[in-house]
């Protein structure tokens, strides 16, 4: 009975994601048509001959009517065709697929720093609320969210790469060349990316925990003779987790967004760096397609978070 309910919830969430995906697709399409001026001219460049501009226009289908263009765009998308890069001589999909592992491993690594540290800091602050421990932890969290990422990145490179020589200052080593070098090439960028997130998650966790620690069932847990560790680590955290999971979805999306800057600073060949280069090279189809794929990724992340949330809360599960 429970499994059936679960499958139904998952199905409903998937259906709810469909209109969102459609809207994202249309927005990505509008991105190109809303550019000021003539996109064909911008893409071909100011110095291009009128014939060359016409060529670009036809190539991109810009000579057709607006609705026709939208129809073709959606039709192509439905077939998994996200367009082709003008510069890279590659389809958008393969360009993204090539760089996605870098961005994803960066995001995943930073999240795997963020979650244990953020949850621990937030829980400790909540448990020792209104003491010096709470103030100290929250000051660190505030620093994490307020220090600009590029500034701390430069400091980090000076300290860990130049002075200590622990990690390379830039570049990426694929995991196929060994887990150690891969980790070393991503550790510093991931750490810096997670600073902001740790601050954010610690604050979220603290307020969720404060709420939970005041609940009657926490008093019940203590009245049973459970240790503080079990009371907080099991009874309180399981409840706070429901809120923390929601925050994690935002974090993962933010980590992918934040990697644009970090990839730039550390010269990591990920999606963020590719998009920046594509914008500079006026490779609009690549920008457009990448935005779209990232949009889909965010939708999927939120979908997964939604489902995890359902799993964590038996009350939602049964409704």
Site string for another protein, 259-298 (x = CB under 8 A): ----------------------------------------
CA 149 – CA 260 distance, rounded (Å): 11
Site string for another protein, 183-222 (x = CB under 8 A): --------------------------------xxx-xxxx
Minimum gap (Å) between residue 310 Cβ and another protein: 12
Q: Spell out the residues 6+ positions from residue 222 whose beta carbon is closer than 8 angstroms to its own.
A: 228, 231
Q: Out of 239, 246, 253, 288, which residue is the one contacting another protein (CB under 8 A)?
A: 239
Question: 53, 41 in Cβ contact below 8 A?
Answer: yes
User: CB under 8 A: which stretch of 53-61, 229-237, 267-275, 281-289 binds another protein?
Assistant: 229-237
Q: Spell out the residues 6+ positions from residue 95 whose beta carbon is closer than 8 angstroms to its own.
A: 85, 88, 274, 286, 290
Q: Which two tokens stand for residue 250?
A: 């935002």
**Segments in the chain forming alpha helices (H):** 2-33, 39-44, 50-59, 66-78, 92-127, 132-146, 149-156, 179-213, 216-223, 228-230, 237-266, 271-280, 284-312, 314-318
Minimum gap (Å) between residue 306 Cβ and another protein: 17
Minimum gap (Å) between residue 226 Cβ and another protein: 6
> Does 151 engage in binding with another protein (CB under 8 A)?
no
Q: Out of 57, 203, 235, 273, which residue is the one contacting another protein (CB under 8 A)?
A: 235
Contact residues toward another protein (CB under 8 A) are 130-131, 215-217, 219-227, 230, 234-235, 238-239, 242, 312-315, 318
């Amino acid at each position: 009975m429970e499994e059936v309910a679960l499958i139904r919830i998952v199905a409903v969430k998937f259906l709810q994601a469909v209109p969102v995906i459609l809207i994202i697709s249309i927005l990505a399409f509008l991105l190109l048509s809303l550019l000021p001026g003539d996109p064909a001219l911008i893409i071909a460049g100011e110095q291009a001959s009128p014939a060359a501009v016409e060529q670009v226009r036809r190539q991109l289908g810009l000579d057709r009517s607006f609705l026709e263009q939208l129809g073709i765009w959606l039709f192509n998308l439905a077939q998994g065709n996200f367009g082709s890069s003008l510069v890279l001589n590659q389809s958008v999909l393969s360009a993204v697929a090539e760089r996605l592992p870098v961005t994803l491993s960066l995001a995943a690594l930073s999240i795997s720093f963020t979650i244990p540290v953020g949850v621990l800091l937030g829980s400790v602050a909540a448990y020792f609320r209104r003491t010096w421990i709470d103030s100290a932890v929250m000051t660190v969290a505030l620093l994490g969210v307020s220090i600009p990422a590029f500034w701390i990145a430069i400091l980090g490179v000076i300290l860990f790469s130049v002075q200590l020589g622990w990690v390379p200052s830039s570049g990426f080593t694929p995991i196929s060349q060994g887990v150690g070098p891969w980790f070393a090439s991503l550790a510093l960028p991931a750490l810096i990316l997670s600073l902001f997130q740790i601050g954010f998650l610690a604050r979220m966790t603290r307020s969720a925990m404060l709420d939970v620690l005041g609940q009657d069932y926490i008093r019940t847990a203590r009245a049973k003779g459970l240790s503080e560790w079990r009371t907080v680590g099991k009874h309180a955290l399981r409840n706070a987790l429901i809120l923390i999971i929601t925050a994690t979805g935002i974090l993962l999306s933010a980590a992918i967004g934040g990697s644009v800057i970090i990839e730039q600073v550390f010269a990591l060949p990920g999606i963020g760096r590719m998009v920046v280069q594509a914008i500079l090279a006026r490779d609009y189809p690549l920008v457009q397609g990448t935005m779209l794929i990232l949009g889909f990724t965010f939708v999927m992340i939120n979908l997964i978070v939604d489902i995890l949330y359902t799993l964590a809360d038996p009350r939602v599960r049964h409704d």
